[in-house]
Every structure is written in structure tokens, then in C-alpha cells.
């Protein structure tokens, strides 16, 4: 009788221990799933914040440059034209047609000034990423007096809006660094499908002074390029040595489809 009691007691304890182990494993698994969902949600929030920040920066950069062009180039041309018309009007004693032309010129000058301050924030977003990159390259060639050669391969995959926004901002930062720090006067841009077909590949090269990547502390701009690319499933690789220019390659991470 005592042996049976001992056997039942041990069996009961084993069952209870097994049930406890199962319950513990279920609790741990559920906690891990909850933690994983929280990590995924936090990662998504970080990506959304990075996309919004990149969008705001890209918009501010584009509007600032366009506003400067309107004010410094178009506006100055109109001012010179206005001075010439005013001189002619004074010499001819206020000819009606010249007076009308002068009034129209003044209105045009006011309109250019207004546009310089009130540009639409959706200006660049209405274009594709390739169109926006081409427009930025053309502006750079015209304003900064830099020779830019751009190649866009046809039938490229179209990234989604978030990916396009981040890639465009990364492209702007790379161009700004090439102009400000490298002293380059020639820049090459290639936009093509990625080798594995999962997205697009952007390459930006310059003939500037380059730098020693191993012994140069990474400043905020370089760090942000890598962080932002990682958030959208891309990677940024910089190849440079002193005196041989710099080459940036932006492409999707393996097995990633944007």
C-alpha cells in the first residue's frame, strides 16, 4: 500500500512538474512574441520617423535652392530689365506701350519674389525618383558649374514612396558632400536595376580629392546615409582613397524587395 502511495505521489509530482514546465514555456514563448512584436513596431516607428525627416529635409533643400535661383538669377534678370525699361520710359516721356510693359515687368518681378517664398512643398514629390535625380543633377550643373554625366537605365523597378523619399535625400547629401568637401568638378550618376532585380542601384562618383576612410572620423552626414539606407532595406558603400575621388553605391540588401 505504501509503495502504491509513493508511486502515485511521484507520478503526481512528475505530472505537476511537466505541467509547470509547459506553462513556463508557454509564458516565455508568449513574452518573446510580445517582445518581438514590440521590437517590430518600434522599428517601423523608427523607419516612419526617418522617412518623414528625410522628406522634410529633401523638401527644405529643394525649396531653398529653387528660392535662391528665383531670387538670385531670375529675379536679378528681371531687375536689370526693369531698370532698362524705366530708363527708356523716362527718355521717351512715358510711351503707353512701354508703360504697360513696365507695369507687366513689375508684376512679373513681384510674382517671382512671391514664388520664391511660397513654393509648393509637393513640388518634387510629383515626379518619379529618376526625374527628381535628373532635375537635381541639371540644377547642380547649371548653378555650381560642375560637369555632371547621368545615366538612367530604362525599365527600372519603381520603389515605393518611402523608399524614394529616403533615397532622394541620401542622393542630395552625397552631392552636397561632393561639392563642399571634395572639390570635384566632374560627377557621374548611374541609376539602374539592382543585380538581383529586387530594387534599384544608385551610383554617384566624383573626381575630388577623396579621403582616407579608415582614418577619417564619420560625421553626422555619413552616419545618416548608412542609417537611412538600412531602414529601407538598402546598404550604402563608399569607395575612396586620397587623391582618387569618391564612389558611392546604394543598393538593396540581399533578398530585400522595397
148-192 residue pLDDT tens: 999 998 877 788 777 887 888 889 889 888 888 888 889 999 999
User: Is 93 domain-assigned?
Assistant: no
The whole-model pTM stands at 0.56
User: Is 82 domain-assigned?
Assistant: no
pLDDT along the chain (258 residues), means of 10: 66 75 78 78 76 70 67 63 67 67 70 54 64 82 81 83 83 86 88 84 91 67 82 89 89 70
User: Is 191 domain-assigned?
Assistant: yes
User: Is 19 domain-assigned?
Assistant: no
Write the CATH number for 255. 3.30.565.10
Closest to 164 in 3D by CA, of 110, 113, 200: 200
User: Is 123 domain-assigned?
Assistant: no
- Identify the H or E element spanning 231: helix 220-231
Domain span at 160: 128-258
Most distant CA pair in the chain, distance: 132
3-state SS, residue 145: coil
User: Is 50 domain-assigned?
Assistant: no
CB 206 within 8 A of CB 184: yes
From the CB of residue 168, how many other CB atoms can be counted at a distance below 10 Å?
A: 25
Total of domains in the chain:
1
User: Is 208 domain-assigned?
Assistant: yes
- Pairing relation of β-strands 147-152 and 186-193? parallel
224-250 residue pLDDT tens: 888 888 888 899 999 888 888 899 999
Amino acid at each position: 500500500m505504501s509503495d502504491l502511495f509513493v508511486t502515485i505521489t511521484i507520478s503526481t509530482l512528475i505530472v505537476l512538474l511537466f505541467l509547470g514546465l509547459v506553462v513556463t514555456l508557454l509564458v516565455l514563448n508568449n513574452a518573446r512574441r510580445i517582445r518581438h512584436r514590440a521590437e517590430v513596431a518600434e522599428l517601423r516607428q523608427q523607419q516612419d520617423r526617418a522617412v518623414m525627416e528625410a522628406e522634410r529635409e529633401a523638401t527644405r533643400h529643394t525649396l531653398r535652392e529653387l528660392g535662391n535661383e528665383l531670387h538670385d538669377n531670375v529675379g536679378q534678370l528681371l531687375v536689370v530689365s526693369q531698370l532698362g525699361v524705366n530708363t527708356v520710359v523716362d527718355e521717351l516721356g512715358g510711351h503707353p506701350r512701354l508703360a504697360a510693359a513696365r507695369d507687366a515687368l513689375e508684376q512679373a518681378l513681384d510674382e517671382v519674389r512671391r514664388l520664391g517664398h511660397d513654393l509648393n512643398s509637393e513640388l518634387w514629390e510629383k515626379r518619379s525618383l529618376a526625374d527628381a535625380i535628373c532635375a537635381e543633377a541639371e540644377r547642380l550643373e547649371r548653378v555650381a558649374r560642375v560637369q555632371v554625366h547621368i545615366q538612367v537605365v530604362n525599365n527600372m523597378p519603381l520603389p515605393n514612396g518611402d523608399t524614394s523619399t529616403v533615397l532622394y535625400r541620401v542622393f542630395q547629401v552625397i552631392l552636397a558632400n561632393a561639392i563642399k568637401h571634395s572639390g570635384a568638378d566632374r560627377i557621374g550618376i548611374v541609376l539602374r536595376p539592382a543585380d538581383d532585380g529586387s530594387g534599384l542601384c544608385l551610383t554617384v562618383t566624383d573626381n575630388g580629392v577623396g579621403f582616407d576612410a579608415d582614418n577619417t572620423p564619420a560625421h553626422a552626414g555619413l552616419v545618416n546615409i548608412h542609417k537611412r539606407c538600412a531602414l529601407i532595406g538598402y546598404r550604402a558603400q563608399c569607395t575612396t582613397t586620397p587623391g582618387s575621388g569618391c564612389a558611392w553605391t546604394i543598393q538593396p540588401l540581399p533578398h530585400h524587395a522595397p
